[in-house]
């Protein structure tokens, strides 16, 4: 904290403890401290008053700077410049959404909703001050006391203040409890506080109830109705923390462990029953008023030292065996005491009165110097006799607290089988049984050479029809019918180093070993371990005691008290009042567990503790660092992160998170572990008290921090998802970038595809052009091949005319020939001609050929009327070879009435051209030769180039002496 001078204490609804000091303000949450100063926005570092309004915002009154408002994020200052009556504030009081501000020169009243001053009254008092010391609400009216000017009432309706009582001018503090008022007027001895009923005070009556001898500055009343008062004298050192009982004050400094006599401020937390005590010189103290655990120091019993050895309860008395004697306690006070010297004197007189004791088996040798070293070991109550075991023998004490029996058996463990029969273990020696220990008769010695013989026994317990013997080195033994039995030697149970043994309410053995394990064993019918509580479950390594209560086990270790129930461990240590944990002994009586130590003892009333259910802690984020730097503090309100999510870029992935449980009474009893949901192979961390989570180099993604909290005080484990972390990916991994990239790739690919298609199409077009040109060239070549064939035949005819001296016919023929040659040359340069031109050409050709036959061949042309001769195009000179074949092969000089018929018709999408003659015809062999003729082959090849999809475009049929028919089928385009 900024300073040890604590002037104000307040715990708000969030569980934050606010401490106002002379040099700053502290906000404390579960041990974590956050300090605020003027540099953070406070009006002044000296904070004398703190309160919380209905909106859960905080108000801090300073002694010199005015008023500070805090909404969890920002401070706002209101002082005399804003209308405040004075900047030195001593008290703040809230009632009905109004803030009453007490200063050195009067009061101001502020409307919390508007933050406007609605009333300010400045008064010049007797000492030229009007110092408001305290406020009190009575019947919904607000009153205040002043240092020198009496008791006043705030009258908001009249917008003024009114003097109520001036009998006691000097008022240091006021407190209302039930129907009474407490006024502290002075530090006069036994008259500092005047207690008076509210009714009497306002009726003007006087009260003679005075108590206290110091100046009292603050009061607090707990839920039991007990009032605690803070005292700090002005002139003499008589202050401290006091409790009011009746009309008396009891100083509680020693009981509460408060070392200061300058106590100034108090705050009572009803929820957890804790009183906070602020001092001027020692800081503040936290007092647990439940006092479930109470410590009884040696001084409480009037002893300079009190090292407890063993504890028992007998007939409403607590029996404490300590190193220097035996105490009988009744109602917390010593009712009877037997000192160590009394034990020694009784033992010595017993030897003198009964010399036979020296003859007892294992009797100690009587030596006064040795007997003076008498050590008391344990106390047991058997057969209504209080037995005290010591290094020199057994002492029997009656219920009146008088030693009546002594037997010189120096034992480490013993038990009585009946009034006369005893079994016992000699310390560091053999195991014995005596049928009549009173007369030193009927002894049986069990030799250690027998592995079934107990050794180093520390406890002998009767259960069912057997005795069970727990040993420090031999493990567990049973004893029945004068025969011991070793569970370790007989391989029933291997545990050897035992340290504690008890019997629970279910008549089961409860045994602890030196390794810190506890076993619950059912021995009713055989031997069965029903439960093992591993040392890893317990807090602490060395078990100092085990006590049984119903279904609970109380296990003391060097760390504190473990409480086991149904698989759950609860833990108590100094935070609950166990200031010393070096336990030496224990005992349970009812719901009171007594724990002895080397310096007094503790009593733990666990009834309410076991039945109280606690809520799971609410965990809040109190700090976040990324890449070792704090994130924006504006995201924090009331010391905690105001969101359940944090979004970070991919390069801010080293994260440190601080967290705190909210409003927890015992934060030191909490342990934590966490795992990261969303991270592959994320496992739970180890349990730790560390309230920091460190995450390094998180990949981009969404993660949930799941925190488990183990409350050792409540014995429960709870789980919270405390924060969602979203690590955004780098831009090249974002969906929009990937989608955009995919779109770009697709567009780019599509463009590349289009370009490639264009290139391929261009290449295909070029290739097609080349192919076309090749085809055309080939067509032209084929056509050029046909022309010589025709020309040869024509020239042959002209030659015949000349040989026959038929000049006129030769000239006429030559004329027609030149005409058709010109037409042939024209048609050879083009790929298609219209059907009309082809027919005209064919007519010219037939006329020319018919001249060679003296025009004897009758020619008939048939054209289908449906044909459009000017729309249909065919390759030129395609039909001419077939007509030429008719003239060459069909007719000769013996042909009778030769006739040639040429027809054109349309069937569906085909042009059918038929060339028929009535010539010689031919057989099938000659027909094959016709198929292979040069002209027809050229025509077929042209058709194959011209119309690739036209299958069997040429068919030829011939009948000998009847004629030949050629059919051409052309696709009409």
Band (600; pLDDT cuts 50, 70, 90): very high
Query: Residue 729 corresponds to which tokens in the numbers above?
Result: 């990916």
pLDDT of the residue at 931: 46
Whether the pLDDT of residue 788 is over 60: the answer is yes
Distance in angstroms (rounded) separating the CA atoms of residues 330 and 333: 5
Distance in angstroms (rounded) separating the CA atoms of residues 843 and 25: 127
pLDDT tens digit sequence for 871-902: 888 888 888 888 888 887 888 777 888 999 99
Query: Residue 680 corresponds to which tokens in the numbers above?
Result: 């592959």
Q: In the chain, count of helices (H) and strands (E)?
A: 11, 72
Q: What integer best gives the mean pLDDT of the chain?
A: 88
Whether 220 and 275 have beta carbons less than 8 Å apart is answered as yes
Cβ burial, residue 112 (10 Å; 0-12/13-18/19+): middle
Band (790; pLDDT cuts 50, 70, 90): low
The three-state secondary structure class of 513 is strand
pLDDT tens digit sequence for 30-89: 778 899 999 999 999 999 999 999 999 999 999 999 999 999 989 999 999 989 999 999
In what helix (H) or strand (E) does residue 603 lie, and over which residues does it extend?
strand 600-605
Place of tokens 């279904």: 551
Distance in angstroms (rounded) separating the CA atoms of residues 454 and 425: 8
Distance in angstroms (rounded) separating the CA atoms of residues 700 and 725: 10
Percent of the chain at pLDDT exceeding 90: 56
Whether 386 and 397 have beta carbons less than 8 Å apart is answered as yes
Closest to 825 measured CA to CA, from 793, 789, 783: 783
pLDDT of the residue at 934: 61
Q: What would the DSSP string read from start to end of 804-840?
A: TT-HHHHHHHHHHHHHHHHHHHHHHT-S-EEHHHHHH
Strands 858-863 and 899-907: parallel
Band (368; pLDDT cuts 50, 70, 90): low
Provide CB contacts within 8 A for 855, sequence distance 6+. none
Place of tokens 């969404």: 702
Query: Residue 881 corresponds to which tokens in the numbers above?
Result: 């070879």
Q: Which residues make beta-bridge pairs with 919?
A: none
pLDDT of the residue at 801: 72
H helices of 283-372, in order, are 340-353, 368-371
Give how far Cα 225 sits from Cα of 228, 241, 253, Å.
10, 16, 20
- 963-971: strand order across its sheet: 858-863, 899-907, 910-917, 963-971, 954-959
H helices of 243-336, in order, are 253-256
pLDDT greater at residue 633 or residue 285: 285
Q: Give ∠ CA 793-795-796 in degrees, rounded to 5.
A: 60
Whether 873 and 834 have beta carbons less than 8 Å apart is answered as yes
pLDDT of the residue at 43: 96
Whether 593 and 554 have beta carbons less than 8 Å apart is answered as yes
Q: Which residues make beta-bridge pairs with 554?
A: 547, 563
Distance in angstroms (rounded) separating the CA atoms of residues 293 and 578: 7
Find the range with the poorest average confidence among 378-382, 433-437, 735-739: 735-739
Distance in angstroms (rounded) separating the CA atoms of residues 141 and 138: 5
Place of tokens 């033994």: 477
Q: Give ∠ CA 354-357-362 in degrees, rounded to 5.
A: 175
Determine the angle formed by the axes of helices 735-803 and 934-946, rounding to 10 degrees.
160
Whether 102 and 136 have beta carbons less than 8 Å apart is answered as no
Q: 190-201: b or e for each residue (b if 16 or more CB lie within 10 Å)?
A: eebbbbbeeeeb
Side-chain-side CA neighbours of residue 969 (13 Å): 13
For 847-972, strand residue ranges (E) read: 858-863, 873-874, 899-907, 910-917, 954-959, 963-971
**Section 858-882 average pLDDT:** 88
The three-state secondary structure class of 410 is coil
In what helix (H) or strand (E) does residue 132 lie, and over which residues does it extend?
strand 132-138
Whether the pLDDT of residue 369 is over 60: the answer is no
**Section 944-962 average pLDDT:** 82
pLDDT tens digit sequence for 672-705: 999 999 998 889 999 999 999 999 999 989 999 9
**Section 792-802 average pLDDT:** 73
H helices of 10-157, in order, are none
pLDDT of the residue at 41: 94
Closest to 671 measured CA to CA, from 688, 692, 694: 688
Distance in angstroms (rounded) separating the CA atoms of residues 2 and 472: 54
pLDDT tens digit sequence for 119-173: 999 988 877 889 999 999 999 999 999 998 999 999 999 999 999 988 877 899 9
Distance in angstroms (rounded) separating the CA atoms of residues 451 and 813: 153
Distance in angstroms (rounded) separating the CA atoms of residues 804 and 562: 149
The three-state secondary structure class of 746 is helix
Whether the pLDDT of residue 729 is over 90: the answer is no
Query: Residue 61 corresponds to which tokens in the numbers above?
Result: 């009154």
Distance in angstroms (rounded) separating the CA atoms of residues 827 and 821: 10
Name the DSSP class of 769.
H
pLDDT of the residue at 776: 61
Q: Which residues make beta-bridge pairs with 463?
A: 466
Q: How many other β-carbons are positioned within 10 Å of the β-carbon of residue 370?
A: 12
Distance in angstroms (rounded) separating the CA atoms of residues 423 and 401: 25
Provide CB contacts within 8 A for 503, sequence distance 6+. 461, 463, 509, 510, 548
Q: Give ∠ CA 333-337-342 in degrees, rounded to 5.
A: 170
Give how far Cα 47 sits from Cα of 65, 217, 878, Å.
9, 15, 122
Rg of the chain (C-alpha set): 61
**Section 527-532 average pLDDT:** 96
Whether the pLDDT of residue 386 is over 90: the answer is yes
Q: How many other β-carbons are positioned within 10 Å of the β-carbon of residue 464?
A: 12
Distance in angstroms (rounded) separating the CA atoms of residues 876 and 790: 14
The three-state secondary structure class of 87 is coil
Closest to 8 measured CA to CA, from 97, 68, 72, 86: 68
Query: Residue 204 corresponds to which tokens in the numbers above?
Result: 């003007």
Distance in angstroms (rounded) separating the CA atoms of residues 233 and 236: 6
Q: What would the DSSP string read from start to end of 175-192?
A: EEETTEEEEE----TT-S
């Amino acid at each position: 904290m900024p300073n040890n001078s604590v002037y104000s204490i307040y715990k708000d609804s969030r569980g934050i403890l606010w401490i106002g000091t002379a040099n700053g303000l502290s906000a404390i949450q579960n041990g974590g401290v956050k300090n605020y100063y003027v540099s953070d926005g406070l009006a002044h570092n000296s904070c004398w008053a703190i309160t919380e309004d209905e909106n859960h915002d905080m108000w801090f009154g300073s002694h010199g700077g005015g008023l500070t408002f805090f909404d969890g994020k920002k401070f706002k200052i209101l002082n005399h410049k804003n209308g405040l009556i004075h900047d030195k504030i001593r008290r703040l009081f809230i009632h009905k959404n109004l803030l009453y501000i007490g200063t050195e020169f009067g009061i101001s009243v502020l409307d919390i909703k508007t933050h406007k001053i609605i009333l300010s009254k400045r008064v010049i008092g007797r000492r030229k001050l009007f110092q408001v010391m305290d406020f009190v609400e009575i019947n919904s009216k607000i009153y205040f006391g002043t240092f020198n000017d009496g008791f006043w009432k705030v009258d908001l309706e009249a917008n003024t203040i009114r003097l109520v009582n001036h009998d006691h001018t000097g008022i240091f503090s006021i407190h209302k409890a039930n129907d009474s008022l407490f006024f502290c007027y002075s530090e006069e001895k036994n008259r500092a506080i005047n207690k008076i009923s509210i009714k009497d005070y306002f009726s003007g009556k006087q009260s003679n109830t005075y108590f206290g001898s110091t100046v009292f500055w603050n009061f607090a009343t707990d839920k039991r109705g007990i009032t605690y008062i803070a005292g700090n004298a002005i002139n003499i050192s008589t202050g401290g923390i006091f409790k009011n009982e009746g009309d008396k004050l009891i100083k509680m400094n020693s009981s509460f462990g408060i070392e200061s006599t300058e106590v100034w401020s108090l705050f009572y937390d009803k929820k957890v029953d804790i009183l906070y005590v602020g001092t001027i010189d020692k800081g503040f103290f936290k007092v647990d008023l439940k006092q479930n655990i109470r410590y009884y120091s040696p001084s409480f019993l009037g002893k300079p030292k009190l090292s407890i050895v063993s504890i028992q309860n007998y007939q409403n008395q607590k029996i404490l065996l300590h190193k220097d004697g035996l105490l009988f306690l009744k109602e917390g006070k010593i009712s009877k005491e037997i000192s160590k010297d009394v034990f020694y004197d009784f033992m010595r007189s017993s030897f003198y009165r009964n010399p036979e004791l020296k003859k007892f088996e294992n009797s100690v040798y009587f030596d006064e110097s040795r007997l003076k070293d008498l050590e008391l070991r344990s106390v047991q109550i058997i057969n209504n006799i209080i037995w005290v075991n010591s290094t020199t023998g057994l002492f029997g004490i009656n219920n009146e607290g008088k030693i009546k029996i002594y037997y010189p058996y120096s034992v480490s463990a013993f038990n009585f089988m009946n009034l006369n029969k005893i079994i016992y273990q000699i310390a560091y020696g053999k195991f014995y049984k005596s049928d009549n220990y009173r007369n030193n008769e009927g002894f049986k010695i069990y030799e250690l050479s027998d592995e079934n013989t107990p050794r180093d026994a520390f406890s002998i317990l009767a259960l069912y029809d057997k005795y069970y013997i727990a040993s420090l080195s031999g493990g567990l033994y049973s004893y029945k019918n004068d025969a011991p039995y070793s569970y370790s030697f007989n391989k029933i149970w291997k545990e050897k180093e035992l340290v504690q043994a008890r019997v629970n309410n279910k008549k089961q053995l409860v045994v602890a070993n030196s390794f810190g394990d506890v076993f619950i064993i059912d021995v009713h019918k055989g031997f069965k371990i029903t439960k093992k509580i591993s040392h890893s479950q317990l807090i602490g390594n060395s078990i100092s005691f085990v006590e049984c209560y119903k279904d609970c086990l109380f296990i003391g270790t060097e760390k504190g008290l473990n409480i086991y129930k149904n698989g759950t461990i609860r833990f108590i240590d100094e935070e609950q009042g166990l200031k010393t944990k070096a336990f030496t002994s224990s005992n349970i009586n009812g719901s009171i567990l007594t724990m002895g130590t080397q310096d007094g003892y503790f009593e733990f009333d666990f009834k309410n503790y076991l039945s109280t259910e606690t809520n799971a802690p609410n965990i809040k984020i109190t700090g976040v660092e990324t890449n070792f730097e704090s994130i924006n503090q504006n995201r924090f309100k009331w010391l905690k992160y105001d969101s359940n999510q944090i979004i970070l870029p991919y390069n801010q992935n080293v994260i440190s998170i601080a967290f705190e449980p909210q409003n927890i009474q015992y934060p030191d009893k909490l342990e934590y572990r966490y795992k990261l949901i969303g991270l592959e192979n994320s496992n739970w961390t180890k349990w730790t008290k560390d309230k920091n989570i460190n995450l390094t180099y998180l990949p981009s993604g969404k993660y949930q921090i799941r925190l488990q909290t183990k409350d050792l005080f409540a014995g429960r484990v709870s789980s919270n998802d405390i924060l969602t972390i979203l690590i955004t990916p780098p831009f090249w991994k974002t969906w929009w970038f990937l989608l955009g990239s995919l779109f770009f790739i697709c567009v780019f690919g599509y463009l590349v595809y289009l370009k490639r298609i264009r290139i391929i199409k261009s290449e295909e077009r070029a290739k097609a052009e080349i192919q076309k040109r090749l085809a055309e060239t080939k067509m032209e070549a084929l056509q050029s091949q046909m022309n010589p064939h025709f020309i040869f035949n024509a020239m042959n005819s002209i030659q015949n005319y000349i040989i026959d001296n038929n000049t006129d016919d030769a000239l006429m023929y030559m004329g027609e020939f030149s005409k058709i040659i010109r037409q042939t040359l024209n048609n050879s340069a083009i790929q298609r001609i219209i059907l009309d031109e082809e027919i005209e050409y064919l007519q010219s050709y037939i006329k020319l050929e018919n001249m060679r036959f003296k025009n004897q061949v009758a020619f008939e042309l048939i054209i289908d009327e449906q044909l459009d001769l000017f729309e249909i195009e065919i390759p030129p000179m395609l039909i001419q070879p077939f007509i030429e074949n008719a003239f060459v092969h069909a007719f000769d000089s013996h042909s009778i009435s030769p006739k040639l018929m040429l027809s054109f018709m349309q069937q569906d999408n085909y042009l059918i051209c038929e060339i028929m003659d009535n010539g010689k015809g031919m057989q099938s062999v000659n027909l094959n030769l016709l198929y292979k003729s040069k002209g027809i082959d050229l025509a077929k090849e042209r058709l194959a180039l011209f119309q690739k999809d036209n299958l069997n475009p040429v068919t030829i049929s011939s009948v000998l002496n009847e004629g030949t028919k050629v059919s051409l089928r052309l696709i009409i385009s």
